[in-house]
Amino acid sequence: EKWIYTFGEGAAEGSAGMEDLLGTKGANLAEMSAIGLPVPPGFTIATGVCGYYHGHDGSFPPDLEEAVATALAKLEADRGARFGDPANPLLVSVRSGGAASMPGMMDTVLNLGLNDDVVQGLARKTGDQRFACDCYRRFIHMYGEVVLDIDGFLFEEAGDEIKEDHGAVFDRDLSAEACAEMAKRFREIVKAETGEPFPDDPQAQLWGAIGGVIRSWNNQRAVIYRSLHNIPDDIGTAVTVQAMVFGNRGAGSITGVAFTRNPSTGEKAPYGEYLPNAQGEDVVAGLHTPLPLVESAAHGEIGEATALEAHAPEVFDKLIGLCDRLERHYGDVQDIEFTVEEGRLFLLQTRPAKRTVEAGLKFAVDMHREGLISREQAVVRVNPDDLDSLLYPSVDPAANAHPVARGLPASPGAASGVAVFDPDDAIRRSREGEDVILIRKETSPNDIHGMHAAVGIVTARGGLTSHAAVVARGMGRPCICGASSVRIAPELDSFTVGDVTVKDGDEITLDGTGGGIFLGRVPTVEPELSEDLKTLVSWADEIRHLAVRANVETMDDASAARRFGADGIGLVATEHTFFAPARIMTVRELTLARNERERRPSLDRLLPLQRADFTRLFRELRGFPVAVRLLDPPLDEVLPETDAEYEETSEALGLPVEAVRKRVAAVRQIVPVLGHRGCRLAISYPEITEMQVRAMFEAASAVMQEFGETVTLEITVPLVVGKREFDFVRVIVDRVAAEVEQETGCTIAYRVGTLIELPRAALRAGEIAKTADFFSFGTDDLTRTVFGMSRDDADAFLTTYMNNSVVDLDPFVTLDIEGVGELVRIATERGRSENKELLIGICGEHGGDAKTVRFCHSIGLDYVSCAPNRLPVARIAAAQASI
Ligand code: ADP
Ligand code: MG
Ligand code: MG
């Protein structure tokens, strides 16, 4: 097995593709060397040795020793110096680095190969006693800490004492004598702590350091970091042994870090820091304040700072030239370590720069415009999951506000309003023009109208998959769930957190992205799709095959859908018309009517209301396909509950309260979600369907007459389990459509299709497709029925499931591809095999999830539909899926 890969002098055995073997650091050093960049030569010991070492009680593969000796001999020849030779010493660094980035988690030893003799040789060779002793004291300190496991504090403490004795403030003020004294004291610390003298044999030092670096793979902070970032434990670190170059060799020497562009703003400008006369670790260690590469306002405040640009213009120009080359070569923004030894510039590391979301977008757009990457590469650079923070309002960081309570960030965005505790209050006050925040212990379907009226929602109980969370996300309302420190008064007129009381009507602000609840009105900032995001999304649109539609419930949603670039509407819920508070009594009458004759009058009253709602919607959305779902929720959601409501109802119906109670008992359902809802309502009460379809077609005709253009109507039948059910409803739709066409003389293009949201419908899809024009997968209900769990109850155990790795992802957020996805696939295949023209999409929360979008693309769906705010996410995810 080949354990060692050399690099240097314009050549390398490794390359950038070999991260698994050489670690990112080793692979990129090889790459830079191979393309002729100034990299000090060295060799990398492959990651396999780390696995071997940990699997063999801390011993090395038998053939490694010879391989290292050979590589070291080559290094000596390259450098014209010899490891451990006082007459002409070679010093090396021994560096860690695996395939996954774990910044600062593992260890590195610099200046290795020194002892009391060699340090004198180094001083003679360079004519610089101070420099030689500076290297020596650094080396003993690092070696003691990394390899010999001595507490670093002992060295620091001793070092500080000596510094003080010599009147030095910073390391750079240390004299040669002070450095020598430190080295001597550090050797004594090693002796005292380990009981052994410091290892003077350079070979022993080298093998000690290789072992130390390999062991640092399993140091506590590295192990924790890996578990936090889902990095496997068995990939191991490589070890790079590299000739030292010295940034601490006097005034003409420098060490620093450079980013090829600004990783925080994305601006194309050199960005980074340096220290004169220092070594690499000093920049990050925070002991010194590094200086900027170019003059900036932030650094200007510190005072006499000198930017590298002014301090060493030639080096600066060279560095910028190298940055440019690296960026071109890698096609991405790089984070670079560099060192200047007496005016000569060396590169010691390069890696893709960590960046803010905004900077990442800017990089992608700019780099494509500069011709560095293709449009596809630019789109792939964006992680759709990172876009959340850009698509919703947020609490203005400049306000510096502190939350009084925290909960789970259940639905992103920020909002301010008055606290209310009752859904009806929420409606009343929002009517009066107030922004309200609804605060509930938990929510149920009965609260939906109040949630809708609110600008934000807080619950004291429930998790990220609770009813409140799911509904709020669907509505695009910011929401905090499980704010357990919030105690709601039994009278529902205030809540307390600690000793703070917030009364009904007091203003609060919530941040659903971070989970904080604030007193008063904290300024929020509106999301604005940045020019960069708009550009990337428009490129994504040119690439993607999957159409992206929006789900809407309100007029606001409809205009948001247009603004965020929907290709159409995948689902309009019609409940809103029914459950608006002013209409609730009409719907109650409808629900409690005993027969068609009794139902007609309420339907006659609902028709113009529903038509008006549709007309507004279709006006806004003309030119688009719009899928309208027929009435879906069980009507018993409107039934009276309180005595007052019974009184009211009895008056409106002209019936004694007792009679009302009897009728309520007759229609009240035990498990409404599995009960009398969806197309079951349409079949029991065809006149409701007739009314709805009439309202739709009349509205579409009116818009057509007004604008010469209308929507392509798609009528979606919910909760179907088989063909006969679907056909029953389809007949009604076709008949009413023809009637309206007769009356208005307007021909409206329409399709009739079904939601596939029950397992039986998915299995019988072939049959259903014979008469259906489209399928829309209602993945929320499909998930619920396939799993036999409801999202309202699931958070009680799903969190435990996730913590115990029983499930990986919340199936209500990311589509369960193995189970629910299998049904989607089956239904798609069966449907398409019977009906080539069948249009297929998914609606439901999953439509805005990037992984789900990828899956939908892969099985050939025509569209996904999601909440308007998530359209940019879905559009980018759809493009990435087709690249
Ligand atoms: P980390 O992963 O913690 O950054 P590195 O192996 O990159 O560890 O090294 C730590 C510091 O030492 C870096 O600043 C690096 O540039 C510097 N360094 C490493 N090897 C050498 C070398 N051969 N010559 C000069 N400086 C080096
Ligand atoms: Mg580094
Ligand atoms: Mg449904």
Can 449 be counted among the known catalytic residues?
no
Q: How far is ligand 1, taken at its centre, from the CA of residue 508, in Å?
A: 50
CB of 443 within 6 A of ligand 1: the answer is no
- The answer to whether residue 831 is domain-embedded is yes
Answer yes or no: pTM beyond 0.90.
no
- CA 720 – CA 827 distance, rounded (Å): 13
Q: How far is ligand 2, taken at its centre, from the CA of residue 84, in Å?
A: 25
Residue 326, both tokens: 């690296």
**206 shares a domain with 92:** yes
**499 shares a domain with 406:** yes
Read off the pLDDT of each residue in 405-425 and give the average, rounded to a whole number: 92
**281 shares a domain with 234:** no
- Which pLDDT belongs to residue 287? 58
Nearest CA to ligand 1 atom 23: 244
| Residue 316's CATH number | 3.30.470.20
- CA 533 – CA 365 distance, rounded (Å): 9
Instruction: State how far Cα 853 lies from the chain centre.
Output: 15
The answer, yes or no, to whether residue 540 has pLDDT greater than 80, is yes
Is this complex scored with an ipTM above 0.85?
Answer: yes
Cβ burial, residue 677 (10 Å; 0-12/13-18/19+): buried
CB of 104 within 6 A of ligand 1: the answer is yes
- Helix extents (H) in 622-641: none
The answer, yes or no, to whether residue 301 has pLDDT greater than 50, is no
Please tell me the least confidently modeled range out of 6-20, 224-238, 864-878. Answer: 224-238
pLDDT in tens, 771-819: 999 999 999 999 999 999 887 677 678 777 877 878 878 888 889 999 9
In a 13 Å sphere around the CA of 682, the CA atoms on its Cβ side amount to: 28
Nearest CA to ligand 1 atom 6: 95
In a 13 Å sphere around the CA of 701, the CA atoms on its Cβ side amount to: 18
- The answer to whether residue 592 is domain-embedded is no
The DSSP letter of residue 216 is G
- CA 46 – CA 13 distance, rounded (Å): 12
**228 shares a domain with 276:** no
- CA 512 – CA 395 distance, rounded (Å): 9
pLDDT in tens, 145-178: 999 999 999 999 999 999 999 998 888 889 999 9
pLDDT in tens, 78-112: 999 999 999 999 999 999 999 988 877 888 999 99
CB of 237 within 6 A of ligand 1: the answer is no
CB of 40 within 6 A of ligand 1: the answer is yes
Q: What is the best residue among 93, 102, 146 to mutate for testing ligand 1's pocket, by most ligand atoms within 8 Å of CB?
A: 93
**234 shares a domain with 89:** yes
**306 shares a domain with 269:** yes
> Which residue, 175, 209, 243, sits at the end of a domain?
243
Is the pLDDT higher at 427 or at 685? Answer: 685
- The answer to whether residue 48 is domain-embedded is no
**837 shares a domain with 869:** yes
The answer, yes or no, to whether residue 298 has pLDDT greater than 70, is no
Active-site option among 133, 135, 843, 856? 843
Size of the chain in residues: 883
Can 166 be counted among the known catalytic residues?
no
- CA 647 – CA 585 distance, rounded (Å): 12
**237 shares a domain with 99:** yes
| Residue 848's CATH number | 3.20.20.60
Nearest CA to ligand 1 atom 1: 104
The answer, yes or no, to whether residue 465 has pLDDT greater than 70, is no
- Which pLDDT belongs to residue 676? 93
435 marked ligand binding residue? no
781 marked ligand binding residue? yes
Q: What is the best residue among 94, 95, 241 to mutate for testing ligand 1's pocket, by most ligand atoms within 8 Å of CB?
A: 95
DSSP string, 480-535: EE--TT-EE-TTSSEEEETTEEEETT-EEEEETTTTEEEES---EE-----HHHHH
pLDDT in tens, 268-288: 998 988 999 999 878 766 556
Nearest to 862 by CA among 834, 883, 816, 831: 831
CB of 348 within 6 A of ligand 1: the answer is yes
CB of 141 within 6 A of ligand 1: the answer is no
- Which pLDDT belongs to residue 67? 97
Nearest to 263 by CA among 337, 316, 335, 350: 335
Active-site option among 467, 576, 846, 857? 467
Q: Which amino acid is residue 306, in one-letter code?
A: T
* Ligand nearest, relative to CA of residue 209: 1
The DSSP letter of residue 22 is H
- CA 48 – CA 236 distance, rounded (Å): 7
- CA 605 – CA 691 distance, rounded (Å): 10
Read off the pLDDT of each residue in 486-499 and give the average, rounded to a whole number: 93
The answer, yes or no, to whether residue 300 has pLDDT greater than 60, is no
- Which pLDDT belongs to residue 166? 94
Read off the pLDDT of each residue in 687-694 and give the average, rounded to a whole number: 97
Instruction: State how far Cα 656 lies from the chain centre.
Output: 57
**260 shares a domain with 226:** no
**556 shares a domain with 520:** no
**100 shares a domain with 224:** yes
Residue partners of 788: CB distance under 8 A and separation at least 6: none
Residue with structure tokens 């009381």?
A: 501
Q: Which helix (H) or strand (E) holds 628?
A: strand 625-629
**515 shares a domain with 478:** yes
Q: Which helix (H) or strand (E) holds 774?
A: strand 774-778
Is the pLDDT higher at 61 or at 231? Answer: 61
Nearest CA to ligand 1 atom 12: 280
Q: 458 has which bridge partners?
A: 439, 480
- For 63-122, list the strands marked E by DSSP: 82-83, 89-90, 92-98, 109-112
- CA 626 – CA 858 distance, rounded (Å): 24
CA distances in angstroms from 781 to 761, 842, 871, listed in the order given: 12, 12, 21
Please tell me the least confidently modeled range out of 34-38, 333-337, 717-721, 804-808. Answer: 804-808
| C-alpha torsion 78→82→83→86, nearest 10 | -150
For the chain, the domain total comes to 4
Range of the domain at 190: 71-243
Q: 480 has which bridge partners?
A: 409, 458
CB of 280 within 6 A of ligand 1: the answer is yes
Residue partners of 555: CB distance under 8 A and separation at least 6: 616, 617, 620
* Ligand nearest, relative to CA of residue 673: 3
- CA 792 – CA 466 distance, rounded (Å): 5
CB atoms within 10 A of CB 125: 15
- The answer to whether residue 833 is domain-embedded is yes
User: CA geometry: angle at 37 spanning 31 and 38, to 5°?
Assistant: 120
Q: What is the best residue among 22, 106, 110 to mutate for testing ligand 1's pocket, by most ligand atoms within 8 Å of CB?
A: 110
pLDDT category of residue 302 using cuts at 50, 70 and 90: very low
- Helix extents (H) in 241-374: 281-285, 297-300, 308-311, 313-330, 357-369
What atom of ligand 1 comes closest to residue 104's alpha carbon? 3
> Which residue, 243, 265, 285, sits at the end of a domain?
243
The answer, yes or no, to whether residue 49 has pLDDT greater than 90, is yes
- Helix extents (H) in 80-151: 116-126, 129-146
